Structure 1
Amino acid sequence: MTINLLYSHSRTLSISWDIPISTIHQIESHYHISSPQARPTIRLYDVTDCLASPPRPFLMYEWQEHAPSGERFIAQLYDGRCYAADWGIYHSENNFVPFERSLMVRVGWEQKLSSYPIDPFELLEKEYEGTGQFSAYTWYGEGENHSCSNLIVSENANAYIGEKVLRDSGTLPASPRRRQGPLRLAMLAWEYPPHIVGGLGRAVSDLARHLAGQGLTVHVFTCTAPSSPAEETLDGVHVHRVRVPASPDPIHFWDRVMQMNFALAQRLAKLDSDEAFDLIHAHDWLVFHAASQSAGALQLPLIATVHATEHGRRFGRLEPGLPTWIHELECQLMHSAAHVIVCSEAMRTEITSVHGVHPQSITVIPCGMDIPSRISTEPVITSLPTEPPAPPTPNILFVGRLVYEKGIHILLDAMPALIKHFPELHLCIAGVGPMESQLREQAQPIFKHVSFVGWADELTKQQLFNEASLCIIPSLYEPFGIVALEAMSYGIPPLISSVGGLTDIVTHGVDGWHVPAGNSHALANAIIHLLTHSDIYLELHHAAKHTIQYRYVWSHFAQKTIQIYQDHLPTLPTNV
């Protein structure tokens, strides 16, 4: 997919474009509309003043262009002025979504302005409210700026892009391209360090690193992150971070997803000409379009890891609009994949019963956990009484996104009963999310006992775990629960609610403790029980560290993943 802007002669610019048919099909699938409804459009901007304060781009020309490729000349422009062109769509009446942007050209100059800002609209976009909604897709339901009411949707439009669409368009090669040597993997994930929102980014990073350590050539394609290079190699993993065009108009989260998928597919296709990938591994629905298009166009096997589902996050209540659309994309990802990986037995059950995936097409591969390099040699229970009447001064810890399904409000409901038993008890909440203001208000009556520390990087989490007596995970929905593994790696017994993948990780009374989900009274009683019985606590402490060391070893799970790859390759690499 390209759009080029060239200085021709005598104040004239040439705009040429070449949009693959698969790109058009992606738009139809994503927005549930036909191509004419999408109103594909080319825009020409004067961007000379985009660095002003406030930035002032000027729309010079705009026309609908249904031809997938072509060229047009724009004359009588101004000498010395800078111009850029966009190809995009109007899926609603007033909102233009750009998918491809040309380099900037100055009229009267022969060369492109490579030294000018990479994207002239970045400063303008930062002024829009709601642009942070892409930082975590579980935020989309909050506030007017996250509404889907202005999106045009056709329920009868083609809602699937995959091998059939690409095969019909004639873009599939005749046969797979395989070379001898290590398996070459293209892994797609919207979240990857340092862009970390939840457990997905950490899990993908650790898996990629261990796959590379076992001899695979691993390329991760993800979205850009502040202060991170577009290309780098980390722990043997080749990381490619793509940029999406900043928008001259306020746009929706759903548009951001589509922009990112275009950029991912484009970057993967360019690199494939050099690498000749053997397989594509997609993580969650946010990268479905890029993964499906790339797998179809390159005729490669597609493996999908499903880390969570919209049906689960919303407890089975899928309202019309965005929740339903996400659910549909999740279904398409699972059914277009050659094999599906999930992280827990609970997830296997869910996608079998809810999404109709055949059990034989699903493999459970949990996340692993590396033992931290620096852990306190003594258990944190040393702050608790060993014999009466020494007063207990325990710290309890919550780490996670501040969203409803994490159940932090349940923990706060339990706090008054805990404070009666432990007047010096302190709860540390590490995380960010849309419920933060609501949770702070809930905690106001006990504010001396609760602190919100925001998002915690690895160094901060290390300090928090080393200071904690218990890690509380009161989730209402939890496909896996990587925080439980993190706590256990520090010897901190996790106290969990009995939901989802948490029950796969933690064995009640052996290396942690279970309570019924959503029950603040039971949660308070369990915390009191563990903080007043140091003998039980110490047993859990030692067992938790043993569980991590012997059951959740990343190298083992990486090998299981490689086996799935090999099972779905037309031929096998010789030295993997």
Structure 2
Amino acid sequence: MDFLEEPRKLSRERLKEIAWEVGTMYPIPATYDYIALFMIHPRRGHVHWHIRKECVEAMTSKQDEPIQNASLIVRVYDVTDIIFDGFNAHMFFDLGISGLSGNYYFGLNQPARNYVAEIGFRRKDGHFHCLARSNTVFFDRDRPSGNYRTDGLFVGSLLTRVFPVENIFDAPIYERINRELAGVEHKEALSIAVVFLGINPETGIDSPLGSFVKEFSEKFGSFGLNAHLFISPVDEANNRVHKSLIKRVQTFSKIVCGQIIAAHEKKPFHVIHCHDWYSSAVGITARKKLNLPMVLSVHSTEQERTQGYTLNRLSSSICRREKSGIEGADLVIVPHSSTRQQVINLYGAPPEKVVVIPDVLAKEPLCDSTDPFQMKRLFGLNQDAPMVLFAGEISHAAGADLLVDALPTVCRNHRTAQFVFAGNGPLKGELETRAWHAGIGQRCRFLGDVSRETFKTLLMASDFVVIPARTWQDENLAQAAISCGRPVLTTRQAGVNCVVHGVNGLITFDNPGSIVWGIQELLFNPLKGSMLSVVAKKKANETPSLESIVAQHYMYYELILKGIRGIKDA
């Protein structure tokens, strides 16, 4: 048997043959008696066992009473904090089984305990004869995992596709790939010719769209694909100002088309993928000469770029080229459903030929990765002490006075906490004076109105945000804090619905005593674990990952090739 066969060449029948051969050559030893206990999760366990007939016969011969009518069971003991001697367990329960070899899944009502399992016979009088005992296993507390990584491993059916993934929340996409590409196999990795002809600085390789296409092409390596990116020739790109737009496109297309044909002769491509109208002429020509399928990504239509204004001569020419590219492509990919409708309605593309896959363009993050210690130093704060942020109008309705009334008690109980008030309002001067009279002025900062950049810095430097309002408040501040992993302390009266008590913040009442309790609870940071989970999930879900975008393209490449092979076979 050849164990070095490539996984892609293994059929289902061949895998069964290999499994049978391995089992025959290396059988599981069954020469001893055992029972093993495992934790599946805190409230579910698993046991498996094997008892030889000789063991049962030996036990039977030693018993004064016959055990023919006894029941074979697995007994699970709670042995937390004791040295178990077989009789001193806190409690036990029995699992009815039917064979000397087997396994059993069972539920538990009490996690965070140590358990031991035994297998044996229980007589009618309740006496239990043990045949084998398991190891002691601790069933962990029923709580969220402390692992907030979002990466994982995708394993397709029959192990034909195995690759790492960065975002496990993209699982539905990979499950669809697994379904759609069932039975699709290749002797070699797919090779894609990616064409992106930047005709001006706004659409060049250094533009946001160009950067996306470049990263998009590089990412294909994660899926075992080879992508070759073809861009505007350097010499021609440097002279672009001396030619009209359409002539530049024609010149670039002729040069790049020759490059693709030459590269194809050395190592054949399977698919040509062009981006936007100015790259489509390359794909149409190469498609005809090389007899390859063509995919066209229309990131925006000329109608969208001109915002519906009357088309001039240049725009009309671009529209004709756009239509020609769409008609010549085997598949058209657009980033939005609105773009899809335009491609279908304006250019007459068949709906089944146009699919939506979002673009992932770089966005400015609300929360950057600046060191919070450095941020606190910028405001003259103790970098090792926790910081609490109030942001908004310093008024009676916003509850700023309730917060200041609560601070003397908080500061007596917590000697290092410091408080920042960002914003202006009718009570600013009065509350600042009250803070100094209460002896806590050195631990408070009243900054007045701040810029957006300063607010972002304060938010990242804070440990949590307080919204102690007496009346309804907008949720923008709370949402910004939660998205940056900062818990929010608010009141029931504020009506901030995005705050879930005990998950991403605490909800109190609009009085100083209740606010004192909430601040002191959060100063001990009881929500750190759950906030890390919230941020991980939000970050994973708020925008499509580049990896998921590439995965969807990979799926459509395979489906196009599958359709072409089907036509050839027919």
Please, what TM-score do these two structures have when normalized by structure 1? 0.38
Choose 1 or 2 for highest CA Rg: 2
Greater relative contact order: 1 or 2 (C-alpha under 8 angstroms, separation 6 or more)? 1
Please, what TM-score do these two structures have when normalized by structure 2? 0.39
Higher normalized helix content (fraction of residues)? 2
